[in-house]
Structure 1
Amino acid sequence: MEKAIRARVRAGDSVAFGQIFEDHARAVHRYAVRMTGDQALAEDVVSLTFLEAWRLRARVDPEGESLRPWLLGIATNVIRNTRRAARRHQQALAKLPPREAVPDFAAELTGRIADAEQIAAAKAALEQLRPAEREVFALCVWEGLDHAAAAEALGKPVGTVRSRLSRARSRLRELTAKELVAARSAKSTHPPEKTQRTGICGQVTGDRALAVRSIKETNR
């Protein structure tokens, strides 16, 4: 079925491309949310991904099994470009005079999360991964792609994907443990006040420590 749609997309059939959007837009959006932590930005990523996919439709492999790796690969490039643009924007803002501080009420919400420390530690650990490791982790663990599909998405050899994923998992375990120790040490030295700011990412709910295992492993 998808092979027939691939041929139609390559030929510029907008109806077939609309079917591709219906089939894969949710997966692209989920991936973008997890990579950016921003729902609104993720929606922009989806739009840009499918615009780029339409522009590159002639590159669709007519014999492939699924278009999801190809679309997630495009989304990865869109996110990279978005982050570069965001860094340039932040650099420009840094040159402006500082604004008056505004109270952050998000801390009241984070206090309701039982594993807030672990979430914050996992978020900090994820941010310390190299971008290439974070991308492989997101594709293989969050999106459930196998090594071959992730390699297709990133345009890298399967061996590279496998080694990056292994390294990402090891570093996440190590970095998360270090962040937890540091956070608890700081907490014991400086008892928290009524409201305490805790870093939180909207990418994954629940125990973020489980993120270091693949989806297949956690579903056993």
Structure 2
Amino acid sequence: MNFRAEIRAGEVEAFGKLFDDFGRSVYNHAFRLTGNWSTAEDVMSLTFLEAWRLRAKIDPEGESLRPWLLGIATNVARNTTRTSRRHAAMVARLPAPIDQADFSDEVAGRLDDAQQLAAIRGALGRLRRPEQEVFALCVWAGLDYATAADALGIPIGTVRSRLSRARKKLSNALSNQLPAEPEPPDQSGQVLGDCGSTAVRPSQEIPR
């Protein structure tokens, strides 16, 4: 029985290996979409719960299950963001508590990592949600057009057009926010764009 068949059959050890192999990748994808450490943790947990529920729908043939998980994570992040916005709106209507807890020490160690993505997150926030999702899957998660289309359940042409629009908008936004950087020699510091072109990628995964 191959790995996919074991997952489909509900083998607990196989599902544990799935988490070990792709948990960090799912977490980083969730953080890039939400920009929030705590929310990314929730999205990661919900993604694997949803993957367990949907395990019978896994194609018996195929290679990595990472694109499948990232597609689930994208949907979970979308729903979680909507819920968070409704919750925030509700909380905003409540009277402010007298004493506010100070979380400055807790978040201080994470500021440097968050600031590395601050400019990009700001630019991404101005993209339409579908454009954000395609950019995250193709550029940051490394999926090609076809795999990203399959993960999102949309045509390849839609992935191409959304990514093209996202890149143009980000290029314009970041050119106004970030100082010009020297060209890296011999493609150093660049990777082949996951959807067929060259794209800047963070040097390492976001630490948990």
| Class of the TM-score when normalised by the shorter of the 2 chains | 0.7 to 0.9
Asked if the contact 2:35/2:121 (under 8 Å) is kept, the reply is no
Q: Name the structure 1 match of 2:174.
A: 176
Taking a change above 3 Å as real, the CA distance of residues 60 and 131 of structure 1, as seen in their structure-2 partners, is same
Aligned pair partner of 1:70 in 68, 71, 76? 68
Q: Name the structure 1 match of 2:41.
A: 43
Q: How does 1:150-165 map to 2 (within 5 A)?
A: 150-165=148-163
CA shift for structure 1 position 170: 0.3
In the alignment of these two chains, the number of paired residues is: 181
Q: Name the structure 2 match of 1:126.
A: 124
Check if 1:17 corresponds to 2:15.
Answer: yes
One-letter code of the match for 1:214?
A: G
Q: How does 1:22-171 map to 2 (within 5 A)?
A: 22-98=20-96, 120-171=118-169
In 2, distance between residues paired with 1:121 and 1:9? 39
By percentage of residues, which structure has more helix? 1
Kindly provide the CA deviation profile for residues 188-213 of structure 1, in whole angstroms up to 9, marking residues without a partner as x.
xxxxxxxxxxxxxxxxxxxxxx99x9
In 2, distance between residues paired with 1:135 and 1:5? 28
Asked if the contact 1:76/1:135 (under 8 Å) is kept, the reply is yes
Asked if the contact 1:124/1:176 (under 8 Å) is kept, the reply is no
In 2, distance between residues paired with 1:122 and 1:17? 34
In 2, distance between residues paired with 1:50 and 1:24? 10
Coordinate RMSD, CA, aligned? 3.1
CA shift for structure 1 position 176: 2.6
* Structure 1, unaligned runs of 5 or more: 182-209
CA shift for structure 1 position 179: 5.0
Asked if the contact 2:124/2:170 (under 8 Å) is kept, the reply is yes
CA shift for structure 1 position 69: 0.8
Kindly provide the CA deviation profile for residues 58-110 of structure 1, in whole angstroms up to 9, marking residues without a partner as x.
0001112221111001101110111111011111012123568x89979xx8x
Asked if the contact 2:46/2:76 (under 8 Å) is kept, the reply is yes
Q: Give the match's secondary structure for 2:2.
A: helix
CA shift for structure 1 position 169: 0.2
One-letter code of the match for 1:55?
A: R
In 2, distance between residues paired with 1:134 and 1:89? 22
Larger Rg: 1
Asked if the contact 2:27/2:41 (under 8 Å) is kept, the reply is yes
In 2, distance between residues paired with 1:144 and 1:134? 14
Bigger relative contact order, structure 1 or 2 (CA pairs below 8 A, ≥6 apart) = 1
* Structure 2, unaligned runs of 5 or more: 180-188, 202-208
